[in-house]
Amino acid sequence: MELNFRRITSRDIEVVASYAIEGMQPGLYPLHVDRAKVRAVIGAFVEPSHDHFQLAAFVGDKMVGGIAAAVMPLLFFERCEAHVVMCRATLPGAGLRLLRALRQWADADMRIRRVVWPIEFHADPRIAKMAARAGFSNQLTVATYYK
């Protein structure tokens, strides 16, 4: 079957929620994943908007990749930044194409000054290399405290 890239629709919400939650690996964190909240966020991304980006990869009805970013104003500087809230691919080649689509969208929007993608501590090291190939050239260490 052929790899197909498209925006998700309201019919995809449950499939996307399952795919996203599986990728979160919630067992690694002292947090509870609220499926209703995940579905609500996905639902907000379904409607076209200048305040977010989303694209998914499917082979037939099976989701094999997805990316989403939310736009918000920079706190101390002019313009905005986009925060990647999901980037996952389980089929080789899908991830880089999704990242390139995100980059093309961000480059075309004059409001967006930077794109921030927090890569989890447990991520495959190849993800950072793929991010660099897609133009993510700076890395930051984020200290996190859970209580």
Query: What's the confidence (pLDDT) of residue 100?
Result: 93
Contact between 88 and 23 under an 8 Å Cβ cutoff? The reply is yes
Domain count, the chain: 1
The CATH number assigned to the domain holding 7 equals 3.40.630.30
Tens of pLDDT, residue by residue over 59-112, are 998 999 999 999 999 988 899 999 999 999 999 989 999 999 999 999 999 999
Residue 86 resides in a domain: yes
Residue 140 resides in a domain: no
Q: Going by C-beta distance under 8 Å and a sequence separation of 6 or more, which residues neighbour residue 83?
A: 69, 70, 72, 115, 116, 117, 118
Residue 63 resides in a domain: yes
Q: Which amino acid is at 78?
A: E
- Please report, for residues 48, 82, 116, the alpha-carbon distance to residue 79 in angstroms, rounded to integers and kept in the order given: 21, 10, 14
Query: What's the confidence (pLDDT) of residue 72?
Result: 95
Crossing angle of helices 125-133 and 94-108, rounded to 10°:
40
Residue 74 resides in a domain: yes
Residue 146 resides in a domain: no
Residue 141 resides in a domain: no
The confidence band for 12, taking pLDDT boundaries of 50, 70 and 90, is very high
Tens of pLDDT, residue by residue over 60-72, are 989 999 999 999 9
Residue 142 resides in a domain: no
Residue 36 resides in a domain: yes
- d(CA 65, CA 19) in angstroms, rounded, equals 9
Domain span at residue 29 reads 3-133
